[in-house]
Structure 1
Amino acid sequence: MTDLRARAAAVRLLVLDVDGVLTDGGLYYDAQGRVTKRFDVQDGLGIKLAQQVGLDVAVITGLNHGAVESRIRELGIVEYHAGHLDKIPLMQGILDRLGLDWNQAAYLGDDWVDAGVLRRVGIPMAVPNARNVVRELAAWIASSSGGHGAVREAIEFLLDCRGELDSLWQKWSGE
């Protein structure tokens, strides 16, 4: 675990999948056939906390839904790439724009489309409800399911390894 914590301390970018990670993976259709999504508010605050201390957050997702785009915009995530199943070239582009290498990135995924990126990043992460083969690729697995706090948990792990979690807590708690 010490080696994992040391590698996590070097992470400067967390990349997230959406369906099954930021959401519970469900597709909810209204009477007009529009898709809606459910997001966890604590995941959103976790993203804002990461941004406050300079941990970049990006999103690469295979599907393209307006509800997701609205939430991503609301969270201030600049690197948002929707409708892409081949995530490696997009990930490489993000790393190049930020001047980072693969070892400085973590990725939180849940399904086969995430496997290529998970094999390359410094900290491959999965949600507990991920496909078995994806969990096997992960160096770290959340205890919370996708769409139910897994993103917040991943962020808190990374910030703790970077030595930034306690100071954020002190700021928010007034200690």
Structure 2
Amino acid sequence: MSRAEIVRRARAVELLVFDVDGVLTDGGLYYDENGQYAKRFDVQDGLGIKAAQAVGLHIGVITGLDSKAVANRVNELEIDEYVAGRVEKSTAFEALCERHGVAPYQAAYVGDDWVDIGPMRMAGLPMAVPNAQPEVLQVAAHVLSRPGGRGAVREAIRLVLFCKGCLDGELESWRKGMALAKAASRRLNR
């Protein structure tokens, strides 16, 4: 797909939907001696999600597993939509689009494995992490350079914000917010 076509599709995006294992996380399951498992999330991905929300984009997460760790992270980031325990993701993706009044061509979907192919085929901007399964890479309009759990979500969001012309403005908002926070801290510490 041409760069111009990717830009055109990214400009239309109003809803960003992410898989969890292999996209929001590195795909690893870390088990402790009691059989409980944990997941690792990238803090930069979280800030990217907050930036997307700040410009009015909706965020959705669809995952095949039902994990308390994921539910906690989704809740912490105030993500609009969380669908857990769904291996068949196409109907969940359609429902997310309907709930937000977004046509599938106005949605981006980032996946890595076979269960993501259905919604990726429906999305206007299907993206994949670089270590995705070969069949997923074939469906992707854009392959990210960062792996899952290591900045892929942030990269996808940056692409959409850049193409929509929002990236510089959002960065400036964060800079101003940090400057105000530092000034307030200095006043409190006097």
Listed as ranges, the matches of 1:1-175 within 5 Å are: 1-174=3-176
1:29 and 1:61 mapped to 2: Cα distance?
19
1:90-143 per-residue CA deviation (whole Å, 9 max, x = no partner) reads: 111111111111100000000000001111110000000100110111111111
Q: Distance in 1 between matches of 2:46 and 2:148?
A: 13
- Kindly indicate whether the alpha-carbon contact (under 8 Å) linking 1:59 and 1:81 is maintained by their aligned counterparts in 2: yes
Normalized per residue, the structure richer in helix is 2
Local SS of the residue matching 2:115: helix
TM-score by length of 2: 0.90
TM-score (norm 1): 0.97
Residue 184 of structure 2: aligned partner? none
Give ranges in structure 1 of 5+ residues lacking alignment.
Answer: none
Report deviation, 1:169: 1.2
Bigger Rg over Cα: 2
On the 8 A contact 2:117/2:136 being kept in 1, the answer is: yes
Residue 21 of structure 1 aligns to a residue in which SS? helix
**Structure 1 Cα separation of the partners of residues 41 and 126 of structure 2:** 22
Q: CA offsets, 1:55-107, max 9 Å, x none?
A: 11100000111111100100001310000011111111111111111100000
Offset of residue 172 of structure 1: 2.1
Alignment coverage as a number of residue pairs: 175
Compute the displacement of 1:41 (Å): 0.2
Corresponding letter in the other structure for 2:84: A
8 A Cα contact 1:87 1:117, kept in partner: yes
Gaps of 5+ in 2: 180-190
1:68 counterpart letter in structure 2: V
